Structure 1
Amino acid sequence: MSDGIEVEQIVESKPRRMPLATSLDKDAIREAYEDVRSDLTDTEWAVFKFDGPQIIVHGRGQCFEEFREQFGDAERAFGYIRIQMGDEMSKRKKFIFLTWIGQEVGVIQRAKMSTDKSLIKDVLNNFAVELQAGVEAELDIELFRGALNRAGGANYGTGIRDN
Structure 2
Amino acid sequence: MFGGMQMTTSVDTASVRAAYEDVRSDSTDTQWAVFKFDGSRIACADTGSDFDKFKEHFSENERAFGYMRIQTGDEMSKRQKFIFITWIGPSVNILQRAKMSTDKAVMKNIVPNFAIELQLDQISEIDLKYFVEELNKAGGANYGTGIRDN
Amino acid of the residue matched to residue 86 of structure 2?
T
* 4+ runs deviating over 2 angstroms: 15-20
Instruction: Indicate which of 25, 29, 33 corresponds to 1:38.
Output: 25
Secondary structure (helix, strand or coil) at the match of 2:117 reads: strand
Number of equivalent positions:
145
Instruction: Indicate which of 70, 83, 88 corresponds to 1:101.
Output: 88
Counterpart in the other structure of 1:125: 112
Counterpart in the other structure of 2:7: 20
d(CA) in 1 for partners of 2:124 and 2:43?
Answer: 25
d(CA) in 1 for partners of 2:104 and 2:26?
Answer: 26
Counterpart in the other structure of 2:98: 111
Instruction: Indicate which of 69, 72, 80 corresponds to 2:67.
Output: 80
Secondary structure (helix, strand or coil) at the match of 2:110 reads: coil
1:19 deviates by 3.4
Residue 129 of structure 2 is aligned to residue 142 of structure 1:
yes
1:87 deviates by 1.0
Two-structure CA RMSD over aligned residues (Å)? 1.5
d(CA) in 1 for partners of 2:125 and 2:143?
Answer: 26
1:96 deviates by 0.2
Gaps in structure 2 of 5+ consecutive residues: 146-150
d(CA) in 1 for partners of 2:18 and 2:4?
Answer: 34
Greater share of residues in helix: 2
Secondary structure (helix, strand or coil) at the match of 1:20 reads: coil
Counterpart in the other structure of 2:55: 68
Amino acid of the residue matched to residue 88 of structure 1?
E
d(CA) in 1 for partners of 2:138 and 2:111?
Answer: 18
Q: Does the C-alpha gap of structure 1 residues 70 and 35 become closer, same or farther in structure 2, counting only changes over 3 Å?
A: same
Q: Deviations over 1:93-149 (max 9, x none)?
A: 100000000011000000000000000000000000000111111001111001100
d(CA) in 2 for partners of 1:75 and 1:61?
Answer: 20
Gaps in structure 1 of 5+ consecutive residues: 1-14, 159-163
Q: Could you say which structure has the larger radius of gyration? A: 1
